[in-house]
Structures are given as structure tokens and as C-alpha cells.
Amino acid sequence: MLRAAIYCRVSTEEQATEGQSISAQKKALIDYAQRNHMVVVDEFIDEGVSARTADRPQFQRMISSAKKKPRPFDLILIHKTDRFARNREDAIVYKSLLRRDCGIDVRSITEQFEDSPTGKLLEGMMEVMAEFYSLNLAQEVMKGMKEKATHGKALGMAPFGYRIGEYGRYEVVPEEAAVVRWIFETYTQGEEGLFVIAGRLHSEGLLRFGPAGNKFKWSTVGIKNILRNPAYLGNLVWNRRDGAKKHRMRDPENWIVVEDAHEAIIDKGTFELAGQILKGRRGVRSPGEDYLLRGMVRCADCGGGMSYYRMQWKKRSTGETIYKPKLSCSRYHHSRLCYFNHVPVEEAEAALFGYLRDVLEGRVAPDSLEVTFPHMNGIREEAELLKRQVAATSQKLQRQLEAYEAGAIGLEDLKQARSRVDAERGALERKLEELEGHLAGDAARHLGILQDKIRQTLALATDETVPMANRRSALRAVVDHLEWSRRQDQLRIVLSIG
């Protein structure tokens, strides 16, 4: 029986103008699979996403899944050719990759193409027409958006402090505008930076401004974007950024700028002063000091990474400056979304080496070890696929029962279907049981291997004559990650057997 994956896609424009829906596509694809004796083993659904590029989350997940060994499915079902791609180059590249490298065909259930030169020609023509439709539609949409922007009409979401009024222009939201003015006033006084302002909004925003002050998880990036947004001067600026690559600025000659398009919140002098301060404080960021545990330590309380910083103070008696390197929660420093969870770098390193020596010398009970097995990731993925296939057999049997109750099939047909499904499910469950047996490898069974790796790691990682990068690589071979919680005064160490 062929195993099929289904791919559905619909853009926001198509949902609005053509009434297309994911549910309709999905139903048609599943019905087609049933009629043609196929089992649907996976689904990939992109909602509100254009097919002009292949940079679609579920599309890319489908391509990645198709490359796995063993092959997870035999073909991909799509509703129409333009659901797969509206770019002729993308369609050719990905269909060729799937057929040649993965042995997986792509089949449109509404546009049947024969496996012949004529069929291939017809399929290619359909793809070219889909690409033409997409490019032409994009051109017309851009023309309409440009016309709208020229007349000062809002495009996209309104920035914080505004809403889109009934005439399509930005209107001031007084509660939010008060927050924007306070941000500009506080920053242009020159005493508090982005980090401090974000922290104050987290701690004081609700009390000072009400719900408007607590609308976002304030961060330094968010504060900077407000300080640089010309919308607060009353100007509408459109087409500044590349639609496909939001971080890339377009050439200024392609911008559409409409001055006094709406009511200003900030005066020009304050806006320019904020820009000057931002420019003056912008510098070359130092890469920071290297340290052995870089990238290995996480905050146990929020799951974020912990980054390096140096605490420093002066001794009153001598005036000497004391430096103490520490690791602290990055989320706390970036946006105050956690607390000041920190640990001295030396203490974290000493605790890790002490733990590794304890494991090596048998002072840690094997059943208390936390160990990951990266080499088994492929087996885990295969086991998950088998679980989905087992679930699909149950659904298949349920559909047969529904068909029997509806009078579509007889009792003998139902018995045969059940026998077939039971045999299929039995084979899948036996394979799944075998894989889960491999995954059940606990740390105790691999203790000897782990101790050998730790012995090699300690010899290299504690040798200070070895370059830091090499010592860190040695540690990564046996340490998956560390988690520190200052509140619980606890360091959790997860080891790894690659």
C-alpha cells in the first residue's frame, strides 16, 4: 500500500478573495487517498503563506522529511500544481530533487498528467501559468499599495501609539502615546539607556500607564525601534524594507514618504535628538572574553542561555578594582523576563569537573545520571513516524466501520478490511517495539563507555596549555548542557554519549 504525505497551502489573499480553505483541500486529498488505496502518514500545512518562494516552514519541513532514510512516504499529494509552487524554477528543482534523490513523486489530484513527454509538457505549462498568475497578481497588488501609501493611507499594522481609523489613516491612541512620549523624554535626558528604560517599563509600566504600559514584553530592540520610527513625527514611510528579507533596507529613492499624513506624537527636535544619542552610543561591540563553558550553560528557571559578564567593584581600604567573571541569565539582561540568576564562572567550572571526577570514580549512582544519546536521534524520528502510521491504521479501521454503518460496504467487506488493517498494524507495532528496545538504553548499560570518554575529556579539558577552543570541544563530547538555578542553589548536569 502506498504511503502518502499531503501538502496544503493557502495565502491570506486567496482565503479572502477566492474562498479557498485548508479544510477543503485536506478533505479532497484524504478522500483521494482513500479511493486509491493509499495511507496518509503525514500532513504539511502552510496557512496564509505565498507560494512565490520555497521559503515556507511546512514546505521546507516536508522536503527535509522526504530526505530521511528510510523513506518516510512514497508520494506527495497536492490539490493543484500552484499549491506546490508558483515559481517555475522552484517547481522544477524540488520535484526533480524528490523524484531523483528520494524516489518520491508529486501528484496533483485535480490535474492528472500522464507519465509521457506530452504529460510532462502539459505539467510544465501549468506551472508556467501558475508563476505568471502569481507575478502578475503581485505586480497589481504592489500598484494598489503604492497608490494607497501615496495618499497617506495606512498599510499593515499601526505602530504602538496609533490605530487605523475609519478613513484608513493612523489615529493617536492617547494611552499608548503617553508611553511613547515618556520613552522619548526619558531617553533624550541622556541618563537612562535602552536597557534601563525597558526594565522600568516592566516594573513600573502597569502602575504608571495602566494596560498600555504593560502591552508588550519590552526589550532594548523594541525601545530602539520606537525611537527610530518616523511615524511618530506624523510621517508615513512605506517600502523601506525588502518584503522578502525584512531586515534589508531598500534604496531610499524607492521609499514612499508622505509628510504630515497623520497627527504627530513627537516633535521634530526631540526625534532628531534621540537619533543623535542613538548614533553616539552605537559602537563596535567587543566579542567578550572567551571562557570554557561558552554556550553550555542555561538558566534552569526560564530555559534561556546564560552569558558572560564581569562584576567589578573597588575595595574601600585600598581602592583596588576587583573583577569577578560570572554567568547570568541573558533574558534578564535583555528584557527583564527572568530574575538575576547568576553564578561565578570559576564555581560552575569547578562543579562540573568535580561531578565528572565523581562519575569517573564511581561516586555517582548510575541510575541518577542524566544522559542523552544523540546517535539515536534517527531511531527516535523513525519511531515517531511508526507511531503516526499505527494511529493512521486505527483511523482507517474507523472509516471502514462508518462505511459499514452507512450501508456502503457489507459485513464480509468489513471483515476483510479489518483483517488487512490488523495485519498492517501488527507489522508496524512489531517494528516499533524493536526500535523502542534500542531507545531503552539507560546510562547504567553505557557506564563503561561514558567513563572512558570522561577520562579522555578530563585529561584534555583541564590542561591549560591546550587552546581554549580545543578544551571546549573536548567537553562538548561528553557534556550536553548545564542548568543553574540561584533560587534553588542547584546545578543540573546532563551528559552525552555521542
Top CATH class, 162-281: alpha beta
Task: Tell me the CA distances in angstroms from 102 to 33, 119, 240, 310, 420, one per residue in order.
Answer: 20, 21, 41, 51, 28
Domain 2-139: homologous superfamily in CATH = Resolvase, N-terminal catalytic domain (3.40.50.1390)
pLDDT of residue 285: 37
Split at pLDDT 50, 70, 90, the class of 14 is: low
Cell 504627530, residue located: 264
pLDDT tens digit string along 362-397? 898 887 888 776 655 566 667 777 888 888 888 888
Residue pair 362/444 in contact by the 8 Å Cβ criterion? no
pLDDT score for 107: 87
Nine-digit cell string for 389: 502510521
196-242 pLDDT, tens digit each = 888 888 888 888 899 988 888 888 888 988 998 888 998 887 766 65
Predicted model pTM: 0.38
Q: Which three cell numbers stand for residue 140?
A: 497589481
Q: pLDDT tens for residues 109-154?
A: 887 654 555 555 655 665 565 555 555 545 554 555 555 555 557 6
pLDDT given at position 46: 86
**Residue whose C-alpha cell is 579522555:** 456
Distance in angstroms (rounded) separating the CA atoms of residues 10 and 25: 9
CB 303 within 8 A of CB 484: no
Q: What is the DSSP string of 93-159?
A: HHHHHIIIII--EEEESSS---SSHHHHHHHHHHHHHHHHHHHHHHHHHHHHHHHHHHTT---SSPP
| Per-residue pLDDT tens digits for 64-92 | 899 888 899 999 999 887 777 756 556 66
SS3 404: helix
Cell triple for residue 224? 530602539
Q: Which residue has the higher pLDDT, 266 or 147?
A: 266
pLDDT at 17 over 50: no
What are the grid coordinates assigned to 129, written together?
501559468
Mean pLDDT, rounded, for 457-477: 89
Q: What are phi and psi of 451, to 5 degrees?
A: -65, -40
**Secondary structure (H, E, C), 172-231:** ECHHHHHHHHHHHHHHHCCCCCHHHHHHHHHHHHHHHHHHHHHCCCCCHHHHHHHHCCHH
Would you say how long the chain is, in residues? Answer: 498
Residues 6+ apart with CB under 8 A from 226: 159, 160, 180, 183, 184, 232
Contact 460, 312 (CB under 8 A): no
β 490-496/479-485 pair status: antiparallel
Domain range summary for the chain, segments of one domain joined by +: 2-139, 162-281, 286-373+441-498, 376-440
